[in-house]
Chain A
Amino acid sequence: MSTIQSIIDAKGFARTVNRLAHEIVECNKGAETLGIVGIRTRGEFLARRIAQAILQTEGVTVPFGTLDITLYRDDLRGRLSQPQLKTTNILYDITGKNIILVDDVLFTGRTIRSALNALMDLGRPASIQLAVFIDRGHRELPIKADFVGKNIPTSNDQEIKVLMTETDGEEGVQLVSHTQEGGIQ
């Protein structure tokens, strides 16, 4: 049995994206020095939204790129199936820029560790700041987000689903709880 609870609906989703964009601009005193990088797959679409929101409020086009972290994962070995390798596509020089790294859910922190290493191999940014849509806790590495859409405390057997039009056809955030039938609650 699993129960699905809606945490953020489509309207709330857009508001949260806008707030994240405002916070990023405020914290960096403008958007001129920024570069934005989304982690594939959903981080890419979120990053695109945030870049659009910054363009609307500040009138600045922030250079945008996507990062595939597959080659930097710490669990490549000993898997039964290999993850599909996708392409990193960052067409601007990240050196000297304040890079906003965007992902949908912050969980163990391992993805972000991989992304930091991958970014460092592409250049030397002035700084890297982390923006995530949902922080669900359970960190396994000392990593903290600079900008958080929403903190949702979860248990390990729950699942957070960030739905986006590009990948899922709808927008919102769901909390999925798996309860084992007949198991001890």
Chain B
Amino acid sequence: MKLSSRHLLGLDGVPQKDIQLILDTAVSFKEILNRPIKKVPPLQGKTIVNLFFENSTRTRISFELAQRRLSADVVNFAASGSSVSKGETLKDTARNIEAMKIDMVVIRHASAGAAHFLTKVVQANVINAGDGAHEHPTQGLLDMYTLREKFGSLAGLRVCIVGDILNSRVARSNIYGLKTMGADVSVCGPATLIPRDIECLGVKVYHHLDDVLPQVDAVNVLRIQLERASAGLFPSLREYHRFFGVTSERLNKVNRPITVLHPGPINRDVELSADVADGPHSLILEQVLNGVAVRMAVLYLLGLNETP
């Protein structure tokens, strides 16, 4: 029983049995999160550094909680106020940190491939916490965990990812992971925000929410970056909401409940109406709790996978 890689850089190419092992392991960790004493010792003596070159609240807190609950020693790094602002390269930053005997690195960076680059320059296990518009594998895994917990299995599950697919690392990780697990994946958004040739990843493309909603069991609603409107990719946030906002009126047209996920943070009443976000079919807060359990599973499985 072990993962086939020492690193988690993305879900592209990760075998089904590895995803299965991570999701199964996370079930055991979720039980620990419901105990009065939420701490277990397996990563005692391991030192983990969180290298966050981009802003993040939930992912950083979630990783840090997961690390502390496994009894690891945690060092946090934020790009602002560090030597990066003095012009140090990623390679030098990483090697300097590693010289201080770090066992694992969690990295978030604006450039795609930053995590992959790190694996070439350091010996530590590397976990990608989001690299540019490439992948965000732990988010993909926690979305899959949440769906599996709700529906029992991912095989044959029909999931639509709605919003800015072009710039979304969450979308890519979800597509790769869900396809590996046998789910039926579609994407929906304005043509300007859907990458050309995305069909080659095996997803169906829709440009009207009302066409796709009757065909799915769950929607994963992505955050619309407010600056995309000023970049001319769609006319205004109001118009985006009218055409692509997931609202209760739209969901009610379908005669069965559709489960709603959102990776956060939500722009209320832009991509998701407030009543749906707080409604009975929203699993958004469940995703946050599951995020800690899934990250514990990844850290545990990689942290004890020492042989290169």
In the bound complex, CA of A166 to CA of B291 (Å): 34
List A contacts of B35 (CB < 8 A).
121-122
Are A85 and B25 closer than 8 Å at their CB atoms?
A: yes
Contact with A along B29-56 (1 / 0, CB 8 A): 1011001110111100000000000000
In the bound complex, CA of A68 to CA of B27 (Å): 13
Are A88 and B31 closer than 8 Å at their CB atoms?
A: yes
Contact with B along A57-88 (1 / 0, CB 8 A): 00000000000100110001111111111111
CB distance from A51 to the nearest CB of B (A): 21
Are A82 and B28 closer than 8 Å at their CB atoms?
A: no
List A contacts of B36 (CB < 8 A).
122-123
List B contacts of A156 (CB < 8 A).
none
Are B27 and A87 closer than 8 Å at their CB atoms?
A: yes
In the bound complex, CA of A81 to CA of B29 (Å): 19
List A contacts of B42 (CB < 8 A).
71-72, 76
A80 closest partner in B (C-beta): B307
List B contacts of A87 (CB < 8 A).
27-28, 31
List A contacts of B307 (CB < 8 A).
80
Are B1 and A121 closer than 8 Å at their CB atoms?
A: no
In the bound complex, CA of A167 to CA of B203 (Å): 43
Using a Cβ–Cβ cut-off of 8 Å, how many residues does chain B contribute to the interface with A?
22
List B contacts of A77 (CB < 8 A).
304, 306
List A contacts of B306 (CB < 8 A).
77-78
Provided the pairs A82-B301, A87-B28 are in contact, do residues A72 and B40 lie with their beta carbons within 8 angstroms?
yes
Are B28 and A76 closer than 8 Å at their CB atoms?
A: no
Question: A89: CB under 8 A from chain B?
Answer: yes
Question: B150: CB under 8 A from chain A?
Answer: no
List A contacts of B2 (CB < 8 A).
80-82
In the bound complex, CA of A48 to CA of B1 (Å): 28
Max chain A Cβ within 10 angstroms of own Cβ: one of B29, B35, B36, B41: B41
Contact of A89 among B31, B37, B300, B305 (CB under 8 A): B31
List B contacts of A78 (CB < 8 A).
306
Are B304 and A68 closer than 8 Å at their CB atoms?
A: no
In the bound complex, CA of A13 to CA of B31 (Å): 33
In the bound complex, CA of A43 to CA of B37 (Å): 24
Task: A72-B41, A81-B1, A121-B39 are known; give 10 further A-B pairs, CB within 8 A.
Answer: A71-B40, A72-B40, A77-B304, A79-B304, A82-B2, A85-B24, A87-B28, A89-B31, A121-B37, A123-B36
Q: Which residues of B come within 8 Å of A, CB atoms?
A: 1-2, 24-25, 27-29, 31-32, 35-37, 39-42, 300-301, 304-307
